[in-house]
Amino acid sequence: MTRIELCTEGLEPRVREEILDVIYEELHISPGEVSSNGNFELDLISCGEGVENAPHLRIDGLPFARVTAERVRELVRGGLRRNSHP
């Protein structure tokens, strides 16, 4: 299972919602949920570091700093879906 974590420090509500909307559009999950195929899990977490680099996204522990909604879409389409199993 691929774990996606969105760090909440320094994250403007509008940016958070844009990122969460992209994740929902692409993977059909909201925070605290696991995808219907069991391949993805999404959580909002407190990372406690690097507020100046917000927003942070971690995918299986690998950090991505200053992500935008479009960057999240690229990450999902470019790697996450391709690496998942039906």
> Residue 33: which CATH number?
3.40.30.10
- Going by pLDDT thresholds of 50, 70 and 90, the confidence category of residue 85 is very low
Domain that holds residue 62: 2-83
**Residue linked to tokens 């999404």:** 42
Model confidence, pTM: 0.84
Q: Is 29 helix (H, G, I), strand (E, B) or coil?
A: coil
Domains in the chain, number = 1
pLDDT-derived band at 66 (thresholds 50, 70, 90) equals confident
Q: What is the mean pLDDT of the chain?
A: 85
